[in-house]
Amino acid sequence: MRVEDLVEAIRFLETELPPDVEGRLRGALGRESGISRMVIEAILENVRYAKEKGVPMCQDTGILEFFVRCSNGHEEIRDKIAEALRRATREVPLRANTVNPFTRENEGTNLGRCHPIVHFEGRPLNEGDIEMDIIAKGAGSENVSASFMLDPMLGVEGIKNAVVQAVQKAGAKPCPPVVVGVGVGGNLERSAHLAKKALLRPLSEKNPNRNLAELEEELVGKVNALGIGPMGLGGETTTIGVLLEWGHCHTASLPVSVNIQCWALRRISLEWQGKNFRILR
């Protein structure tokens, strides 16, 4: 894995919106009118300009999170990701977003204690092959994400209510139309991880579980019925998608996390097969 490849992938991540996300935004134009339609048009113009000029589509370039699948070499890969982040901060450029939570000191590298955030996931791959997903998450949307430890007796209705409650409370802060990642099960921290990971699934791909696919569609309807609309100015489109991941949990628990993502869902998938590198999108 070359650091240069990863720097260019981060540049691509920050400057070009995934086609499925842009497609959903374009689809929203047909449902909106007046000021809400003007907002979607302005968002799409922003997307076009960022791609043509090769500049980040949002001034908050976010915290980058890496999901890596490989057979070995974890420490070497982590070191290369750190170097790529350091370089991308200068070259893309990324805004220096990571600070000491107590002193607010900023090293200016997007690194620091517990950074980069890298999740290594098990999957049998050939020696030297690497698969990687990256997501960039800004503070406006991350700050309104939420976790709930529900009474298991609340069941699926409790999950629905938690999702709607989180989006309603967030209001205009996460720059809607949003994408909503939902993690159900595990424990407190695992549900949050599942909610973030859910955002990696393309909006064009249905949940492989038919019941959960139906639940996602129902939640889209419930969230859009809130009428928050683009940038909180009212309208038909508060969300362009709800994505759900789940895991088994304790018999006495029902953990639910809701990770709210702004319209700029910046994610990318990469693959190294030996020395051959490609962006999968």
pLDDT band at 81 (very low <50, low <70, confident <90, very high): very high
What local confidence, expressed as pLDDT, does residue 118 receive? 97
Q: How far is CA 28 from the centre of its chain?
A: 20
**Residues 84-123 pLDDT 10s:** 999 999 999 999 999 999 999 999 999 999 999 999 987 7
215 burial type by CB count under 10 A (0-12 exposed, 13-18 middle, 19+ buried)? buried
pLDDT band at 71 (very low <50, low <70, confident <90, very high): confident
What local confidence, expressed as pLDDT, does residue 180 receive? 98
**Residues 205-262 pLDDT 10s:** 999 999 999 999 999 999 999 999 999 999 999 999 999 999 999 999 999 999 999 9
pLDDT at 40 over 80: yes
Has this prediction a pTM greater than 0.85? Answer: yes
pLDDT at 126 over 80: no
What local confidence, expressed as pLDDT, does residue 24 receive? 98
Q: Which fold has domain 3-13+57-138+265-279?
A: Dihydrodipicolinate Reductase; domain 2 (3.30.360)
Q: What is the mean pLDDT of residues 7-18?
A: 98
Q: What is the mean pLDDT of residues 40-61?
A: 98
Sign of CA dihedral 66, 71, 73, 76: negative
Residue 212 in 3-state DSSP? helix
Domain limits, CATH 3.30.360, in the chain = 3-13+57-138+265-279
Query: What percentage of residues in the chain have a pLDDT greater than 90?
Result: 94
Sign of CA dihedral 168, 36, 202, 75: negative
73 burial type by CB count under 10 A (0-12 exposed, 13-18 middle, 19+ buried)? middle
Residue 260 in 3-state DSSP? strand
Q: Is-contact 250 221, C-beta < 8 A?
A: no
Average pLDDT of the residues of the chain = 96
User: What's the order of all strands across the beta sheet hosting 146-150?
Assistant: 146-150, 254-261, 178-186, 239-249
